[in-house]
Amino acid sequence: MNKNTLSLLILCFIAIFVIVSVDTAFARSFNNDFETGDLTDWEEKTGTAFDFQPTWGDNPTARDRGQPSQHQGDWWLGLAERYQGPDKGAKLGQKPGDMQQNAQGGVAPDFPQGTLTSIEFTIVGETMNFLMGGGNRPWGDDGANNPCCVNLLINDKVERTMTGSNTETMTRREWDVSDLKGKTAQLRVIDKHSGGWGHPNFDDVHQADRNGDNIPWDRVLAVDSRGKLAVSWAQMKKYY
């Protein structure tokens, strides 16, 4: 085997390793259910509504709200909540059931506003499903009406939107996204209301196939990494 052929083979092996590594890094880092205990891979945050998110445990029940959160796992987005778990929360003097505050430090669960936007991903499923609760304050034209909702964006255009039903209890919601297959999308959680029921609750988002089976996110994101570099350098550094 001559030197040029050997060099070409080495380059091929390196390329394969990089592609596989990108898939693995992205699959490990995508935070579709907030079980990392932070906002990893929800890359763009505005305002203050998400400063104490995600929240840990069934906080509505901890304060006897009578509306259990029905979250998945330990962590979820509850925009009225201000409890970040038995480790971080305890160090900050927080306790289960604590709620958001206003600028003067008074209890004001709907006061903070802001948005949180996910990484990009490809639509590969027939549907998307997730847990949704909180206020019923829908998206209006160009974001009017001070919404509290979750939007599916493609090229920054809202293609789907969902709100809660004026209860802290989250239920499983679904979008038909079959007509959007192959497109690059993002999710944006929006809290733009400071009045009653001015907050969304959100958790555990998935794409599902035609049989209704959830598609593992490593498969969803592998589509991206074969077509382009799907992870940022900051994400890569966490694993390399």
174-197 pLDDT tens trace: 999 999 999 999 999 999 999 999
Contact at 8 Å (CB) between 108 and 210? no
Please tell me the distance from the alpha carbon of residue 125 to that of residue 208, in angstroms, as a whole number: 5
Does 240 score more than 80 pLDDT? no
pTM: predicted TM-score of the whole model, two decimal places: 0.82
- The span from the CA of 78 to the CA of 100, in Å, is 10
The arithmetic mean of pLDDT across residues 87-93, rounded, is: 95
Please give the share of the chain, as a percent, with pLDDT higher than 70.
Answer: 80
Query: How many residues are given for the chain?
Result: 240
pLDDT at position 27 = 42
**Which CA distances in Å does 166 have to 51, 174, 189, 194, 226?**
22, 18, 16, 14, 42
Please report the pLDDT score of residue 141 as a whole number. Answer: 78
Query: Measured between alpha carbons, how far is 129 from 147 in angstroms, rounded to an integer?
Result: 20
Domain count of the fold of the chain: 2
Same domain, 38 and 21: no
More confident residue, 234 or 109: 109
Q: According to the model, what pLDDT value does residue 30 have?
A: 76
The answer to whether residues 181 and 95 belong to one domain is: yes
Quote the domain boundaries for residue 240. Answer: 1-30+217-240
**Average pLDDT of every residue of the chain:** 86
* Average pLDDT estimate for 141-162: 93
Based on the domain organization, do 35 and 95 belong to the same domain? yes
* Residues 166, 222 within the same domain: no
**Element (DSSP H or E) covering residue 18:** helix 3-29
Q: What is the DSSP letter of 195?
A: S
* 1 vs 139, higher pLDDT: 139
Q: Write the CB contacts of 237 (distance below 8 Å, at least 6 apart in sequence).
A: none
* Domain containing residue 151: CATH number: 2.60.120
| pLDDT above 60 for 229 | no
Q: What is the DSSP letter of 185?
A: E
pLDDT at residue 212, rounded to an integer? 96
Same domain, 231 and 140: no
- Residue 5 binned pLDDT confidence (cut-offs 50, 70, 90): low
Going by pLDDT thresholds of 50, 70 and 90, the confidence category of residue 21 is: very low
Looking at the DSSP assignment, which residues form a beta bridge with residue 122? 184
Going by pLDDT thresholds of 50, 70 and 90, the confidence category of residue 120 is very high
pLDDT at 55: 98
